[in-house]
Amino acid sequence: MAKPVQIEVWNPNGKYRVVSTKPMPGTRWINLLIQQDCRVEICTQNKTILSVEDIIALIGDKCDGVIGQLTEDWGDALFSALSKAGGKAFSNMAVGYNNVDVNAANRYGVAVGNTPGVLTETTAELAATLSVAAARRIVEADAFMRGGLYEGWLPHLFVGNLLKRQTVGVIGAGRIGSAYARMMVEGFKMNLIYYDLYQATRLEKFVTAYGQFLKANGEQPVTWKRASSMDEVLREADVISLHPVLDKTTYHLVNKERLAVMKKEAILVNCSRGPVIDEVALVEHLKANPMFRVGLDVFEDEPYMKPGLADMKNAIVVPHIASASKWTREGMATLAALNVLVYHLYKK
């Protein structure tokens, strides 16, 4: 049995017991639960990732719903424990749910929620940030400056890539991929090539209309193309951003062979999930191609990086912060609370 976990309790006399495995930003989510007669228990244990055992201890004997995190393994053991405690609802505080075994949830009659939409623009903005930072070698230049190495302007100092009129490639043009594409097309007048299993009609219409707008203003219009294969995107694009879901079809989608297809000076950005890229192959590719650059928010073995990655100057690495704006994180917490309320309280 796991050691008792530290918790903070709100509305101790509430009828329904809802547990959040982590403190979440804002208080709106807590107030929403309290308004519906919930006792809210928030795990404040000073441990970044809770184990299955920790969460079973948190669920206890009676628990109506849980809000959990993408770092947790929501499989048979947890859904069984939640169901035994009378729980009917679980919400991930994330749009991706690759950490959740939905079949197991179904077996135990637990409804599962996620938090799409509120994180679209914030996540796309980080992908855009990483694209520009990689193109202009911002992190390397910052380290150089702080290291006291700057002795004066030089024609070759930190020369990077111009984005304007280049081609941006998007793999997975869903909510976030489309928002990112719009930012790069509108912001840098990039032409778009995308690959998705489905046609991104609204995105295509946007780029067409924006191209017409530019033309009407005497500028060269931007163009779009839906690629028939992912390799077509990899071959043609100067900046490629990955935004698919992580599932069996997208595991190691970018591998050694596919990296070899990309331009030598291409930029690859990943704000989806780490295992979409074969990170060992990526490190080898970065070593062999110093002009190839990556911006990574997610990693194959999070929180760890594959050996060698941290030494690569042509890699920018940030700790899974793509959805980390105040507005979005509060929105995710609110949606997660509503998921638990809707499924548990109103569907009884």
Active site residue ranges: 273, 302, 320
Nearer to ligand NAD, 174 or 211 (CB): 174
| Cα–Cα distance for residue pair 306/218, rounded to 1 Å | 48
HEC-encoded secondary structure of 223-254: CEEECCCHHHHHHHCCEEEECCCCCCCCCCCE
Among 147, 197, 201, 228, binds ligand NAD (CB under 6 A): 197
Q: Which of 113, 211, 244, 274 binds ligand NAD (CB under 6 A)?
A: 244
By CB under 6 A, what part of segment 211-240 binds ligand NAD?
A: none
Judged by beta carbon, residue 131 or residue 323, the one nearer ligand NAD is 323
CB of 169 to ligand NAD, least distance (A): 12
**String marking each residue 93-122 x if it binds ligand NAD according to CB under 6 A:** --xx-------------------x--xx--
- Report, in Å, the least distance between residue 221 CB and ligand NAD: 25
Maximum separation of any 2 CA atoms in the chain, in Å: 71
Please identify, using beta-carbon distances, which residue of 111 and 332 lies nearer to ligand NAD. 332
* Residue in the shown chain whose Cβ atom is closest to ligand NAD: 174
Q: Is 274 in the site for ligand NAD (CB under 6 A)?
A: no
DSSP state of 304: B
Q: Which of 13, 201, 217, 249 binds ligand NAD (CB under 6 A)?
A: 249
Tokens 């930029």 belong to residue: 267
* Secondary structure (3-state) at 171: strand
Phi/psi of residue 215, nearest 5 degrees: -60, -45
N-to-C CA span, the chain: 31
Site string for ligand NAD, 302-341 (x = CB under 6 A): ------------------x-xx------------------
Interface region with ligand NAD, contact rule CB under 6 A, candidates 136-144, 169-177, 299-307, 340-348: 169-177
Q: Specify the 3-state DSSP secondary structure of 193.
A: strand
CA distance 257 to 183: 29
Alpha carbon distance 279, 309 (integer Å): 8
Query: Rounded to whole angstroms, how far apart are CA atoms 294 and 281?
Result: 13
Query: What backbone phi and psi angles, to 5 degrees, belong to 130?
Result: -65, -35
CB of 110 to ligand NAD, least distance (A): 20
Instruction: State how far the Cα of 286 lies from the Cα of 123, in Å rounded to an integer.
Output: 24
Among 54, 121, 125, 297, binds ligand NAD (CB under 6 A): 297
Q: Which two tokens stand for residue 156?
A: 């070759």
Q: Which positions lie near ligand NAD, rule CB under 6 A? A: 95-96, 116, 119-120, 123, 171-177, 195-198, 243-246, 249-250, 271-273, 297-298, 320, 322-323
